[in-house]
Amino acid sequence: MRCKELVKLLEKQGWEIKRIKGSHYYMGRDTQTLTVPVHNNDLAKGMLNALLKQAGLKQETWHEKNISRYIP
């Protein structure tokens, strides 16, 4: 999954970009914060799973929403 695709999906889940510093997007929702590295390549499987976990989402949730093609 590309980094910007993950940012778009998180925005659909209620996350918003608070600030950008270099190649990192700092996103927030309520009192939670999440740092998403935005580079010109795909996110590694471990990084993607860690970001989904921090966002409070699980792989099963993504599969249920019919966007399983983004999970490597």
CATH number reported for the structural domain that contains residue 63 in this entry: 3.30.920.30
| Count of Cβ atoms closer than 10 Å to residue 17 Cβ | 13
pLDDT at 66 over 80: no
Six-digit token pair at 13? 């889940």
For residue 37, give its domain range.
3-70
Q: What is the mean pLDDT of the chain?
A: 83
How many domains are contained in the chain?
1
What's the whole-number mean pLDDT along residues 28-54? 91
Model pLDDT, residue 56: 87
Model pLDDT, residue 62: 55
Q: For the chain, report the end-to-end CA distance as a whole number of angstroms.
A: 7
Instruction: Say if pTM beats, i.e. exceeds, 0.85.
Output: no
Model pLDDT, residue 63: 53
Model pLDDT, residue 40: 85
